[in-house]
Amino acid sequence: MLTQQAIVDFCNQYDYDIRKSGNGRWIDQKCAADVVTVVADCIYNYALQDKDSIFTTLEIWHYQYTVENVEAIFKKPGVESEAARNEYDKFFQQPMEMLANANVLKKTKRGNRNFYQVNNLEILEYIALRERNALFFLKTYIEKVLRDSGIYSAFDEFFRTQTKDTYQYAKETFSSFIIKHTKINGVVECNRIFIKVLNPLAYFNNSHGTEKRRLSEQIITYDMLMYNRNNFRDVYADKPKGVTRKEYATAHPAEVNEAYYHYQSAKAKRYLRLFNDQNRAGQSEHLEVAHMRDKAIHMHHIFPEAIYPEICYYLENIIALTPTQHLNYAHPNGHTQEIDEQYQHLLLLSKVDRIYENLTNAAVEKIYEFSNFLFVLNVGFDNDDVLEITDMDFSSVINAINVHYAA
């Protein structure tokens, strides 16, 4: 599994100067991280059948894996629907054009049709594994394009001095540059693309970005970068303290796309197993002498997916276990609908250790976020107090876990 440095090294191999390529579609409106990761995932699964296969957007969007996932995840019309053709064309074509410009894919043109082939399967897999990977790739690629094209200084000035003037300067610099060096000739179109350029960079700079065609009032957050913006944190954002999640959900019913979370959960499990195999030699994340030599091939939800869908795709809620630990201890007698609470307690304490190790080891890729673990505990315990724990205060987290199970 690749690291973030591998993504930086990959992009550094190429000259993305728009003045040379003239490619105005190096990024586009549909290139949000969650769309890019899904499209990459569909291409990756398609390419696994034949790594040298040549394909068009049609092959990818009619591929069975795509049909099964994209409709449910993004709640679009059936991929076979004629009415959906234009929407799906953009949905797949724009990320594929971006991946081709980045040299993750190869692109050739025959008449009016674009044909693609995978150029780097490892980079494609990295992007396909999870949204945050896709977002890091986008940030790295966007910054490299701007630097190669000689216009990053306008963005850098905006991130250093967050004012309406520096925002307007970056926006106008981008528009005039794109109109001068590509076939795009309208400011409105440039402004639409500008959103997809500025905001991923703003997120990594912990800064304001653009929203509704002006300087955003707040710092750009992760969910603002997504195409699918409904998320459980939004659903419960206004829940008063002291009201249980179940009570609040009953009084304020909200439609939540569970298919999306199930899909992300499956990918999160795959990602954690790859990480654990690569960085911990496939060892169980819950260390027990009797199982030290057994491979951790089962990825277990500490708080069950069926009961807590809102945290099913958080790596902080998934733990790598051996088959015996999973089916004999975590789920008594292999009954996967049951949870042994005493063992759940131990698994959470072990997960604290794994998260601490990951966040404090400079040599290892960071895959966890402390705030995400607090959210997992907040949901699993239905306890708002854990959200008030200070960042990286692992002692307080351990105490909160022990207090919960002592009750």
**Residues 213-229: pLDDT tens digits?**
999 999 999 989 998 75
User: Is residue 335 included in any domain, yes or no?
Assistant: yes
Residue 66 CB burial class (10 angstroms; 0-12, 13-18, ≥19)? buried
Q: Say yes or no: 189 and 257 in one domain.
A: no
- Token pair for 74: 């993004």
- Least confidently predicted of 1-15, 48-62, 249-263, 305-319: 249-263
pLDDT band per the 50, 70, 90 thresholds, residue 186: very high
Q: Say yes or no: 272 and 353 in one domain.
A: yes
Q: Say yes or no: 260 and 378 in one domain.
A: yes
Say what percent of the chain tops pLDDT 90. Answer: 76
- pTM, two decimals, is 0.89
| pLDDT of res. 81 | 63
| pLDDT of res. 84 | 64
Average pLDDT over residues 14-29: 97
pLDDT band per the 50, 70, 90 thresholds, residue 404: very high
| pLDDT of res. 197 | 98
User: Which residue among 161, 185, 211 closes a domain?
Assistant: 211
For residue 301, give the nearest of 256, 351, 234 by alpha carbon.
351
User: Is residue 236 included in any domain, yes or no?
Assistant: no
| pLDDT of res. 400 | 97
Q: Which residue has the tokens 């995840």?
A: 73
| pLDDT of res. 7 | 98
Q: Is the pLDDT score of 230 beyond 60?
A: no
Distance, in Å, from the CA atom of 64 to the CA atom of 73, rounded to the nearest integer, reads: 14
User: Is residue 370 included in any domain, yes or no?
Assistant: yes
Q: Say yes or no: 140 and 256 in one domain.
A: no
Q: Is the pLDDT score of 374 beyond 60?
A: yes
Distance, in Å, from the CA atom of 245 to the CA atom of 231, rounded to the nearest integer, reads: 15
Q: Look up residue 356 and give its amino acid.
A: Y
Coil, helix or strand at residue 100: helix
Q: Say yes or no: 340 and 291 in one domain.
A: yes
Q: Say yes or no: 81 and 185 in one domain.
A: yes
Average pLDDT over residues 340-364: 96
Residue 164 CB burial class (10 angstroms; 0-12, 13-18, ≥19)? exposed
User: Is residue 167 included in any domain, yes or no?
Assistant: yes
pLDDT band per the 50, 70, 90 thresholds, residue 239: confident
| pLDDT of res. 41 | 96
Distance, in Å, from the CA atom of 350 to the CA atom of 370, rounded to the nearest integer, reads: 15
| pLDDT of res. 52 | 86
User: Which residue among 211, 240, 274 closes a domain?
Assistant: 211
Q: Is the pLDDT score of 241 beyond 80?
A: no
What's the domain range around 207? 4-211
Q: Say yes or no: 143 and 23 in one domain.
A: yes
User: Which residue among 187, 211, 235 closes a domain?
Assistant: 211
Q: Say yes or no: 207 and 256 in one domain.
A: no
| pLDDT of res. 155 | 98
Distance, in Å, from the CA atom of 362 to the CA atom of 176, rounded to the nearest integer, reads: 41
Distance, in Å, from the CA atom of 346 to the CA atom of 300, rounded to the nearest integer, reads: 13
pLDDT band per the 50, 70, 90 thresholds, residue 104: very high
| pLDDT of res. 133 | 96
Average pLDDT over residues 224-248: 71
Distance, in Å, from the CA atom of 137 to the CA atom of 127, rounded to the nearest integer, reads: 7
Q: Look up residue 252 and give its amino acid.
A: H
For residue 273, give the nearest of 265, 282, 264 by alpha carbon.
282
Residue 217 · residue 209 · CB < 8 Å:
no
Q: Say yes or no: 273 and 340 in one domain.
A: yes
Indicate the number of domains in the chain. Answer: 2
Mean pLDDT, rounded, of the chain = 91
| pLDDT of res. 75 | 65
90 vs 141, more confident: 141
| pLDDT of res. 251 | 76
Q: Calculate Rg over the CA atoms of the chain.
A: 23
Which phi-psi region, left, alpha or beta, contains residue 369 (left: φ > 0; alpha: ψ -120 to 50)? beta
| pLDDT of res. 69 | 82
Average pLDDT over residues 231-247: 68
Q: Which residue has the tokens 């999160």?
A: 268
Coil, helix or strand at residue 58: helix
Distance, in Å, from the CA atom of 91 to the CA atom of 119, rounded to the nearest integer, reads: 21
User: Is residue 89 included in any domain, yes or no?
Assistant: yes
Average pLDDT over residues 63-78: 76
Q: Say yes or no: 93 and 44 in one domain.
A: yes
User: Is residue 227 included in any domain, yes or no?
Assistant: no
User: Is residue 122 included in any domain, yes or no?
Assistant: yes
User: Is residue 23 included in any domain, yes or no?
Assistant: yes
pLDDT band per the 50, 70, 90 thresholds, residue 90: confident
Average pLDDT over residues 2-27: 97
Which phi-psi region, left, alpha or beta, contains residue 87 (left: φ > 0; alpha: ψ -120 to 50)? alpha
| pLDDT of res. 233 | 60
Average pLDDT over residues 69-95: 73
Residue 317 · residue 311 · CB < 8 Å:
yes
pLDDT band per the 50, 70, 90 thresholds, residue 271: very high
| pLDDT of res. 336 | 84
| pLDDT of res. 250 | 72
Q: Look up residue 226 and give its amino acid.
A: M
